[in-house]
Amino acid sequence: MNVAQLLVRAARVAPGDPAVLLGERVLLDYAGFARRAAQLGAGLQGALALAPGERVAILLRNRPEYLDLLWGAWMAGLAVVPVNAKLHPREVEFILADSGARVLFTDADAAGALRAAAPRLPALRTVVDVDGADYPRLFGDAACEPAGREPQDTAWLFYTSGTTGRPKGVMITHRNLLAMALCYLADVDPIARQDASLYAAPMSHGAGLYCVPHVLAGARHVVPASGGFDPAEVLRLAARLRHVSLFAAPTMVKRLVEGAQAQGSGGDGIKTIVYGGAPMYAADIEQALAVLGPRFVQIYGQGECPMGITVLARSQLTDTAHPRHAQRLASVGVAQSAVEVRVAAPPGDAGEVLVRGDTVMAGYWGNPEATAQALQGGWLHTGDVGALDGDGFLTLMDRSKDLIISGGSNIYPREVEEVLLRHPAVREVAVVGRPHAEWGEEVVAFVVPRPGAALDTAELDALCLDSIARFKRPRHYRLMDELPKNNYGKVLKTALRTLDQAGVAA
Ligand code: AMP
């Protein structure tokens, strides 16, 4: 099935329901949304002569046109290649070349640089500036029906962040999108028509994927006028629009909580904040629940299994009477309905997290070796280290590459970070390993103090001695104004290790 059928159905059921909003302003109802997607689909097939299966790249910040482009491309049976809007033109060029994208939709800022790269990109026929005259011309009188697609056909080619080598194009199929959407409804949160999906996190990533369950349910899609994440704007829009749900990385949750506290807001109008994509520390989720109330659900996923591995439900987050509540709060929850999750280790022990089921990617685009390695034995090898408890709750330690081995013992940075974050003067922390001649590695903590707080590292040391084994405590503390993060709010540990090395060498 072509996932675009969901939009056709939603528009038939309730054509007059509000569909696409820019801030508080309704731009399109469902009939209008589906019409634009069908017109654009016809334009892609006709004027741009694209055939089903070909790739359409999107390099834009969050804006309403993103929804036209995703659904218009799917209508025409094409695969979208959403590109992180903050990438360097050279990185964008790599993705365009690797995906063989035929068309790139972008804005005036990027169009010039990428038109200059066009001679090096033989597959690329056109660069369309969505603010220019060519874009509206693609919406003509003709409208297309959803092109026939098989469940295993690629709908979204998602490029991994490539911190360890070249980015790889994850083939996310129509089946994957449908399974992810059904899991959202079954496991994460039911969606009613009056609900609104607010795109505060980049639509090139998980937030954009969440438009699928919200189209399925006929809910509103709200693009903030800022095109990004501004805590005050989120709080204001939620209060005005009501029933607002959003995806937020843990660092965004933290900023939203601080913003709400500063305004004396309790998150009025927010229905659900789905968080994930990076570790959420116990101290941070406890504070978020205290300030914003029972509005949270956690998911764990990765590009190779988008938004689709485990879920920690609202009820589990708030069931403080449960005897294992503390462990559950620090876990990523249980397998979502479409997948089996196991850990490559004896029960209770830590090992690599393996996943099998309908949200797992078809493979990497044009890279059978990497596909065979990632999907060995039919299981996705996530590269994450975790442990399953007897109730099926998965606790993630760290990415295997972030594990620190000191004096032959494993140290999971997350465990040390959880302890340091309990200190009131610590706002953010990231722990990495530094090569050490005798021990192999030693522990270094990068700490961001709370504004105005005086940080005494002796106190941090005492806190660690109180809570974890001696060998796990940081041997060095480095104070920072902020931690390096990517566009999705993930702390860049590779960058921290490089920074640390530069400091040691200096
Ligand atoms: P990406 O493919 O860029 O979305 O990154 C996926 C990685 O982020 C996963 O493999 C995990 O290491 C991490 N991650 C995702 N969700 C969570 C979560 N809820 N808790 C901890 N780490 C997470």
* pLDDT, tens digit (0-9, with 9 covering 90-100), for 94-123: 999 999 999 999 999 888 888 888 899 999
Distance from the alpha carbon of residue 437 to the mean position of ligand 1, in angstroms = 31
Q: 251: which 2 tokens? A: 């660092």
CA nearest ligand 1 atom 9, residue: 302
CB 431 within 8 A of CB 474: yes
- What band does 263 get if pLDDT is binned at 50, 70 and 90? very high
Q: Which atom of ligand 1 is nearest to the CA of 488?
A: 3
pLDDT on residue 473? 95
**Do 329 and 446 fall into the same domain?**
no
Element (H, E) at 191: none
Distance from the alpha carbon of residue 110 to the mean position of ligand 1, in angstroms = 29
Residue at a domain's end among 340, 359, 388: 388
Residue at a domain's end among 335, 357, 388: 388
User: Measured in whole angstroms, how far is the alpha carbon of residue 241 from the centre of its chain?
Assistant: 24
Distance from the alpha carbon of residue 302 to the mean position of ligand 1, in angstroms = 5
CATH number at residue 283: 3.40.50.12780
CA angle 1, 142, 33 (to 5 degrees): 60
pLDDT on residue 262? 96
Give the domain extent around 461: 403-505
Asked if the structure places residue 398 within a domain, the reply is: no
pLDDT on residue 495? 93
Distance from the alpha carbon of residue 300 to the mean position of ligand 1, in angstroms = 6
CA angle 337, 341, 346 (to 5 degrees): 150
Q: Which atom of ligand 1 is nearest to the CA of 332?
A: 19
Q: Which atom of ligand 1 is nearest to the CA of 396?
A: 21
CB 176 within 8 A of CB 154: no
Q: How many helices (H) and strands (E) does the chain have?
A: 18, 25
CA nearest ligand 1 atom 23, residue: 278
Helix, strand and coil in the chain, % to nearest 5: 35, 25, 35
**CA distance to 32, 168, 270, 317, 359, per residue, from 294 (Å):** 35, 37, 10, 8, 27
Distance from the alpha carbon of residue 309 to the mean position of ligand 1, in angstroms = 10
**Do 202 and 316 fall into the same domain?**
yes
Residue to probe by mutation, ligand 1, list 158, 171, 209, 300, most atoms within 8 Å of CB: 300
Q: For helices 413-420 and 457-467, what crossing angle results, to 10°?
A: 120
Asked if the structure places residue 395 within a domain, the reply is: no
pLDDT on residue 164? 55
Q: Is the pLDDT of residue 444 over 90?
A: yes
Q: What is the mean pLDDT of residues 474-491?
A: 90
CA nearest ligand 1 atom 1, residue: 302
Q: What is the mean pLDDT of residues 429-434?
A: 96
**Do 134 and 224 fall into the same domain?**
yes
Write out residues with Cβ below 6 Å of ligand 1: 160-161, 276-279, 298, 300-303, 332, 382, 384, 396, 399
Q: Is the pLDDT of residue 163 over 90?
A: no
Residue at a domain's end among 326, 356, 388: 388
Q: 249: which 2 tokens? A: 């990385």
Count of structural domains within the chain:
2
pLDDT on residue 347? 84
Element (H, E) at 382: strand 380-388
Asked if the structure places residue 394 within a domain, the reply is: no
Distance from the alpha carbon of residue 158 to the mean position of ligand 1, in angstroms = 15
pTM beyond 0.85: the answer is yes
pLDDT on residue 252? 93
**Do 480 and 437 fall into the same domain?**
yes
CATH number at residue 480: 3.30.300.30
Q: 196: which 2 tokens? A: 């609104």
Residue to probe by mutation, ligand 1, list 171, 302, 341, most atoms within 8 Å of CB: 302
Distance from the alpha carbon of residue 246 to the mean position of ligand 1, in angstroms = 17
Q: Which atom of ligand 1 is nearest to the CA of 298?
A: 19
**CA distance to 106, 190, 491, per residue, from 168 (Å):** 21, 33, 20
Q: What is the mean pLDDT of residues 297-319?
A: 97
Give the separation between CA 241 and CA 222, rounded to whole angstroms. Answer: 9
Lowest mean pLDDT among 251-260, 392-401, 438-447: 392-401
Q: What is the mean pLDDT of residues 194-223?
A: 97
CA 488, 4, 374, 342 dihedral sign is positive
